[in-house]
Amino acid sequence: MAQETEQTIKAGGTELTLVRGGSGRPLVIFHDELGYTGWMGWNEALAAERELIIPLQPGFGKTPRLDWIMNYRDLGGFYQRVLRDMNLGQVDVIGFSAGAFIAAEMAASNPDIFGKMVLVGPMGLKPEDGQIMDMFDKTIRTHLVLTVWNTEAPEFAKIYGGDMSPEQFELFEDARSETARLGWEPYMFNPSLGHLLQGVTDTGTLLVWGLRDDFTPRGCIEAYKKAIPSAQIAEIPEAGHRPEIENPDAFIRAVKGFLAD
Amino acid sequence: MKLGYFTERPYRWVKEEEVLKNRAFFAVSNAQFDREKAADDYNYFLDEACYAEELGFDAVALNEHHGNPFCMGSVMNVEAAILARITRKVKIVLIGNPLPVIKHPLRMAEELAEIDLISRGRLVTGWVRGAGSEQFFNNANPAYNREMFNEAHDFIVQAWTRPGPWRYEGKHFHYRHVNPWALPYQKPYPQMWIPGVLSPETVLWCADHAYPYIGLGTSLGPTADLWDFYADQAAKHGYQAGSENFGYLIPTFLAETEEKAQELGRNFVYGGGQGAFSRPEHTLPPGYNSKNAIRMLAKQPGGSWLGISREKINAEGGAATEDVNYDEVRKKLVAGFEKAQRNHQILIGTPDTVIPKVKQILDVIRPGVFTFFAVQGPVGNEDRMTSLRLLGEHVVPAIRDYAKEIGLKDPFTRLPGKQKLTSGVQRDPVVDRDALKHIKFEG
């Protein structure tokens, strides 16, 4: 078992809290718009070969909110500075949902920053067809239910089952507030991002999409594919917007295979 | 004492079952909108305001909501501008313009200045953050709501007082050329009265600016607590708060008989009433409330806050998907209506029964401004006018005399913040807690 630890470091001009676990070449993970879920099976599987570095987004309850960060491009700029401060050099990255938006912004402004980039149910681009589901006009419970197609997945219950404690409620509200701050309008995409991503030609890119994802529709994948034509696509069956917990075996297989190439 | 008349200008033709099924007024489809009826009603409500003036009210109050048949005042400044011209004496009280939702404080400064000029100084301008649902309707980022409110307010004060042209670079607003050629008639600018439903942050902000705070039908105990909170903060700023710093607004309906008043007054809970203004997911958008407010909400699972409990937010939102037993729902609403009357949060009856209750309220919270909020729902013009007439002919004179007797001064008679308080000297009470003990409240 990888012993993941939470630590706070000085980076990016702030006290950044991050989770680290595993050993091997660094693999940066950007969590989604609801925050870090805790160490799951997929973390454990990837940590067998890589050191996972999971920064906890400013304003999500642990790392202090940074007032100057007003959109995902600002946030991407912040994380670039963090990676420089950590002397990580070129790293591989996985971004989930809004976390994929962050990774894409970073790659767009610095195409050498990532060796390989995995974008899971990515936000950030206006879908070629359809709309990114609005998470802000829903109660948190509805939001959670709609992100997941396979609610029988054991890890869904582990993360979101049972009563919501006051602490969890507050963390969710922190996450939703900060996400609104950055992505309210245009809703979770940046009109210029697609153009800049066309300059990302040497970063191996994998687009992961749960075949039952109603949250980020297939049009999001098409938009990324249009911007980065070399990107591969991994479709995960029996999964919605959280393929890593809804169908972890298929997810791990796809991601591990891509990162190992 | 200033006595005011207020109505939400409800769209009276929305079917109640549509609202109940939607679990709220906000987001009921405008497919039901009838332009002829709406045209009649916009004109009728303006006539009603004129009638209030004729009857001797000191003020007519307007508000603004968006995308909601609960209130037809979608662009309140339009109505205010008309009233500025067609009334002669009454104060035109705006409670208030939702600054973060309009997102254009320079335009707001110009519009309000024009209204104040046309009315020759009868505008009282208030500000609100806009209800949660307004953030959705106007696509206003709720996470910046408080920041935008503060910045817009500060900007408007500058735009009215600092000779232009000048340039403004703020956080949320930017203007190359600030030099409005419409400045308020009143100097330095119209009074600002701030309505609220007991958000401590807003109360504090009002006390910091010595702006009157208007409690919107809030229950008396917590209202008294917040008045004290205001007065303590005022004392820190070196002034004694008094009745001029406080206003109160209460749903009121009168008829010639108690029976009729009860029958029609229950339209205050038509469609669920104020509690059904919007569904939880629209009432509390992310980031709209402070961290402290969210923490309070999170830790009070059984409680209710702004009509919203953690259970409600935790629950799945949306319109009703199952069959609704409308009779059952209505029964519960009527029970709530009756309880609200017993708790002095809704006043229903004839002048004989309503006047003593108003006096009791004045005894406890001692406001300098008291506003009657007209009935909601499909009540006809004639019955609305009767209620207004009974208020104007009987209640207003009686309450005016009583306010004088117990020394309630309004913000025009004694300017808020002008009663200086020497440092270290105990402030005077602003509420009467003994009087509160005489009212029996139901939990």
Sign of the alpha-carbon dihedral angle for B226, B232, B235, B240:
positive
Report which residue type is found at B49. Answer: A
User: Which residues, 6 or more positions from B268, have their beta carbon under 8 angstroms from its beta carbon?
Assistant: B251, B253, B274, B337, B340, B346, B375, B376, B377
CA–CA separation, A70 and A108 (whole Å): 18
Q: How far is A138 from chain B, CA to nearest CA, in Å?
A: 5
The pLDDT of B189-209, averaged and rounded, is 94
| Res B299: pLDDT | 64
Chain B nearest-CA residue for A173: B286
Q: Which residues of A touch B282 (CB under 8 A)?
A: 137
Sign of the alpha-carbon dihedral angle for A164, A166, A171, A176:
positive
Report which residue type is found at B75. Answer: V
Q: Which residues of A touch B317 (CB under 8 A)?
A: 138-139, 141-142
CA–CA separation, A97 and A188 (whole Å): 10
- Check pLDDT > 70 for residue A137: yes
B314/A139 CB distance under 8 A: yes
Chain B nearest-CA residue for A140: B314
Name beta bridge partners: B349.
Answer: B254
Burial string for A29-41 (b: 16+ CB within 10 Å, else e) reads bbbbbbbbbebeb
A142/B318 CB distance under 8 A: yes
| Res B305: pLDDT | 37
Q: What is the pLDDT of residues B304-337, one digit of tens each?
A: 333 445 555 556 567 777 778 889 999 999 999 9
Beta-sheet strand order (sheet of A50-55): A5-11, A14-21, A50-55, A25-30, A91-96, A114-120, A204-210, A232-236
Closest CB to B286: pick one of A136, A167, A169: A136
Closest CB to B317: pick one of A138, A177, A185: A138
Name beta bridge partners: B51.
Answer: none
Residue pointed to by tokens 């002034």: B239
Q: How far is A140 from chain B, CA to nearest CA, in Å?
A: 6
- Check pLDDT > 90 for residue A77: yes
Hey, which residues 123-142 in chain A have their CB within 8 Å of chain B? Answer: 136-142
B143/A185 CB distance under 8 A: no
A138/B281 CB distance under 8 A: yes
A164/B314 CB distance under 8 A: yes
* Count of helix runs (H) and strand runs (E) in chain B: 18, 11
Q: Which residue did the predictor score with more confidence, B322 or B302?
A: B322
Name beta bridge partners: B253.
Answer: B348
User: Which residues, 6 or more positions from B113, have their beta carbon under 8 angstroms from its beta carbon?
Assistant: B160, B180, B182, B183, B184, B185
Q: Please report which confidence band the pLDDT of residue B257 belongs to, taking 50, 70 and 90 as the band edges.
A: very high
A172 touches chain B (CB under 8 A): no
Which residue segments constitute the domains of chain A, with CATH numbers given? 5-260 (3.40.50.1820)
Q: Are B77 and B112 in contact (CB under 8 A)?
A: yes
Q: Which two tokens stand for residue A40?
A: 């799951």
Chain B nearest-CA residue for A181: B143
A261 touches chain B (CB under 8 A): no
- Could you say which DSSP state residue A163 is in? P
Provide the mean pLDDT of chain B. 94
Q: Are B144 and B100 in contact (CB under 8 A)?
A: yes
Q: Which residues of B touch A136 (CB under 8 A)?
A: 136, 142, 285-286
B285/A136 CB distance under 8 A: yes
CA–CA separation, B149 and A117 (whole Å): 40
Q: Which two tokens stand for residue B163?
A: 């000779």
Residue A219 DSSP SS3? helix
Say how many C-beta atoms besides its own lie within 10 A of residue B406's C-beta: 13
CA–CA separation, A31 and A52 (whole Å): 12
Q: Which residues of A touch B298 (CB under 8 A)?
A: 166-167, 169-170, 173
A6 touches chain B (CB under 8 A): no
CA–CA separation, A241 and A239 (whole Å): 7
Q: Are B374 and B268 in contact (CB under 8 A)?
A: no
**Phi/psi of residue B4, nearest 5 degrees:** -120, 165
The pLDDT of B15-21, averaged and rounded, is 95
B285/A164 CB distance under 8 A: no
User: Which residues, 6 or more positions from A84, have their beta carbon under 8 angstroms from its beta carbon?
Assistant: none
Q: E strands within B192-292? A: 194-196, 213-216, 246-254
| Res A1: pLDDT | 67
Closest CB to A142: pick one of B142, B298, B317: B317
A180/B143 CB distance under 8 A: yes
Q: Which residues of A touch B291 (CB under 8 A)?
A: 174
- CA A142 vs. chain centroid, Å, equals 20
Torsion of CA A149, A154, A159, A164, to 10 degrees: 90
Burial string for B290-314 (b: 16+ CB within 10 Å, else e) reads eeebbbebbeeeeeebbebbbebbb
A185 touches chain B (CB under 8 A): yes
CA–CA separation, B361 and B370 (whole Å): 10
A164 touches chain B (CB under 8 A): yes
CA–CA separation, A114 and A103 (whole Å): 9
Which has the closest alpha carbon to A122: A183, A43, A59?
A: A183
Which has the closest alpha carbon to B113: B77, B141, B87?
A: B77
CATH number for the region B2-437 comes to: 3.20.20.30
Q: Please report which confidence band the pLDDT of residue B301 belongs to, taking 50, 70 and 90 as the band edges.
A: very low
Residue pointed to by tokens 């000085």: A10
Q: What is the pTM of this model?
A: 0.95
Q: What is the pLDDT of residues A33-45, one digit of tens each?
A: 999 999 999 999 9
Interface pTM, i.e. ipTM: 0.95
Report which residue type is found at B387. Answer: S
- Check pLDDT > 80 for residue A119: yes
| Res B311: pLDDT | 57
Q: What is the pLDDT of residues A154-189, one digit of tens each?
A: 998 888 777 778 888 889 999 999 999 999 999 999
Q: What is the pLDDT of residues B330-361, one digit of tens each?
A: 999 999 999 999 999 999 999 999 999 999 99
Q: Which residues of A touch B295 (CB under 8 A)?
A: 166, 170
Question: Residues in chain B whose beta carbon is closer than 8 A to a beta carbon of chain A?
Answer: 136, 139, 141-144, 280-282, 285-287, 291, 294-295, 298-299, 301, 310, 312-318
- Give the residue from B133, B172, B294 with the most A CB atoms within 10 Å of its CB, the best one to mutate: B294
CA–CA separation, B189 and B115 (whole Å): 12
**Phi/psi of residue A37, nearest 5 degrees:** -90, -10
A181 touches chain B (CB under 8 A): yes
Q: Which two tokens stand for residue B316?
A: 């799945």
Name beta bridge partners: A234.
Answer: A208
Q: Which residues of B touch A177 (CB under 8 A)?
A: 143, 286-287
A141/B316 CB distance under 8 A: yes
Chain B nearest-CA residue for A169: B298
